[in-house]
Structure 1
């Protein structure tokens, strides 16, 4: 599907999402509340120029920290923190270790309305409606998406219903697989600590797909679900009551992003493509074309070699253009 696809009307509620990933340590980290002019983590005023928000910074790990603890406390997901710190142990970073927080984001090249989810980036962007005279803002959160064979569907849809403390009805496919493993699944999982939907779920106008919380927050920032979009429990709690029914949700797959800061300096960012295909010459030429278009058609404004290297690494790091 493309980003212009509309889905058929909502037909029935199938809660399909399920994870086979379990992890050890979990520390719930609050996003914090705004005080004075300070916004919560992941909340930014929309830039008047350019398309970038936030900043990259470092923190120091304590003896008790895991890299996932630090990621959750700083609004980034598993893949983001891992790629930003390739030489740091996930489970034992070590007291005094400097950890890079990839807290800078290039906004998706899409209409800034409702919710935009970039599956390649494993990240959700929410553009809340504001009153006249208020500063437009964007909120961004790491998400989990569908794993291989259960890809999260792309296209434009909308929210249809909000469910607080939802029950989970495992679909037949999950129950069959669980029975084959000798671990039968009940027909209904009631609200509570064992419910993989968490405390909040937002239904989409795509039968069987939701944006929901999770009882396994260490999986946020991974391709680990059966297609649904998972959020950290604190994150979905912060938006649940603020996302109106009927909000547009645009699910895209944009593994390459080109950005400009308020001073006009250019940046490029690439993620591993969800279809795992290598970037070819067509992709290189398309990215170079975007850069040259922004530079008023200057055919010599893009460094082909640098663009090629960024695409080959595809590690999610935002690289200043040379």
Structure 2
């Protein structure tokens, strides 16, 4: 989406320049598409763009991120030197709004837990360009991990009541914050205004009454969405919609003949060490360029894996500059040019 369309009461957008080969050329969404909607590329795997906004006096980093469809952790990674609670009027804030599409079938809903993002591929109308929608998520914390696997939507409820499971009621009671047996619909309901039950028993996609937790590992395993996002998604899907939950912390994708990588921190140490991450990345990149004459920048690849920043990075080695002529070669060229100019200058008689 073009930055001019992303202006809102929280910030005004300006393009982010000077990132060299780190960022892909942006794929702009059509001007009539809402936030988070992108044309599905016919060839390639990248959507969106990275840009900056200028903070207003009352903005927080969380508010700015939500205004542009980005969750908490992604905003903090993209703006390590900006205060979360008071960026300050006039501060430039980076919006990491470019994404490599997950390595999964582009149908239904795909939830990448490592990325804390949901991708929805609505059925394309005849003659219309296919699109993808993407939204930030809150996912399960380390002791209540969001499950992985393929499932479907089995139930959809507007303005749901919440019946806290016994395990959650026990946890709250132990911390001195007892819960009632039922929380009615309303502003105090943790499920927000929409609930979509998954075929995996006990797990939901739902809204929230605490949007600041979107983009963090804060839930008891369910998937939380911003209030406006969950309502928009709810209105487009139905019981039976396919849902894939994956944990893809390392994504590869092509755009205009260039290979890009997008990396996120592992959710926990059980997924491996840094050396194992680097080795796995090398294997995946090697498979992607197998049989191609492609100049992979392996030094940049290692940097991305060791310090995952969550933004697409180009893995193409820049061409080596031609060596400058040696001093005497330069002197010979200058002397030759001077001699030629002298010979071509008409001599005056007299």
- How does the TM-score come out when normalised to structure 2? 0.79
Paired residue for 1:161, among 155, 161, 165?
Answer: 155
Q: Is residue 231 of structure 2 the alignment partner of residue 231 of structure 1?
A: no
Distance in 2 (CA, whole Å) between partners of 1:36 and 1:120 is 28
1:286 is displaced (CA, Å) by 3.5
User: Structure 2 vs 1, CA of residues 37 and 71 (structure 1 numbering), >3 Å: closer, same or farther?
Assistant: closer
Instruction: Confirm whether residue 267 of structure 1 aligns to residue 260 of structure 2.
Output: yes
Count of residue correspondences:
290
Q: In the alignment, is the contact (CA less than 8 A) between 1:292 and 1:298 conserved in 2?
A: no
Distance (whole Å) between structure 2 residues aligned to residue 143 and residue 182 of structure 1: 28
State the match for 1:76 in structure 2.
Answer: 70
- Three-state SS of the structure 2 residue aligned to 1:309 is helix
Q: Hey, what does 2:181 align to over in structure 1?
A: 187
What residue ranges of structure 2 are gaps of 5+ in the alignment?
A: 1-7, 11-28, 318-350
1:293 counterpart = 2:287? yes
Equivalent residues in 2 for 1:1-322, closer than 5 Å: 37-261=31-255, 263-276=256-269, 277-298=271-292, 301-321=295-315, 322=317
Deviations 1:242-265 (CA, angstroms, capped at 9, x unpaired): 11210110000000011211x111
Q: Distance in 2 between matches of 1:137 and 1:203?
A: 25
- Structure showing greater radius of gyration is 2
Structure showing greater relative contact order (alpha-carbon pairs closer than 8 Å, 6 or more residues apart) = 1
TM superposition shift of 1:184: 1.8
TM-score for the superposition, normalised by structure 1: 0.85
Distance 2:189 2:94 in 1: 33
Determine helix, strand or coil for the equivalent of 1:159. strand
Task: Report the 3-state secondary structure (helix = DSSP H, G, I; strand = E; otherwise coil) of the residue aligned with 2:251.
Answer: strand
Q: Deviations over 1:176-221 (max 9, x none)?
A: 2222233221000000011000000111001110000000001000
CA distance in 2, matches of 1:218, 1:42: 18
Q: Tell me, yes or no, if the aligned pair for 2:99 and 2:311 is still in contact at 8 Å.
A: no
For 2:276 and 2:67, the matched residues in 1 are separated by 39
Contact 2:162/2:183 (CA < 8 Å) preserved in 1? yes
1:183 and 1:265 mapped to 2: Cα distance? Answer: 53
2:142–2:268 CA contact under 8 A, matched in 1 = no
Q: Secondary structure of 2:230's match?
A: helix
Cα 1:295/1:177, change in 2 over 3 Å: closer
Alpha-carbon RMSD across the aligned residues, in angstroms, is 2.0
Asked if structure 2 preserves the Cα contact closer than 8 Å seen for 1:291 and 1:301, the reply is: no
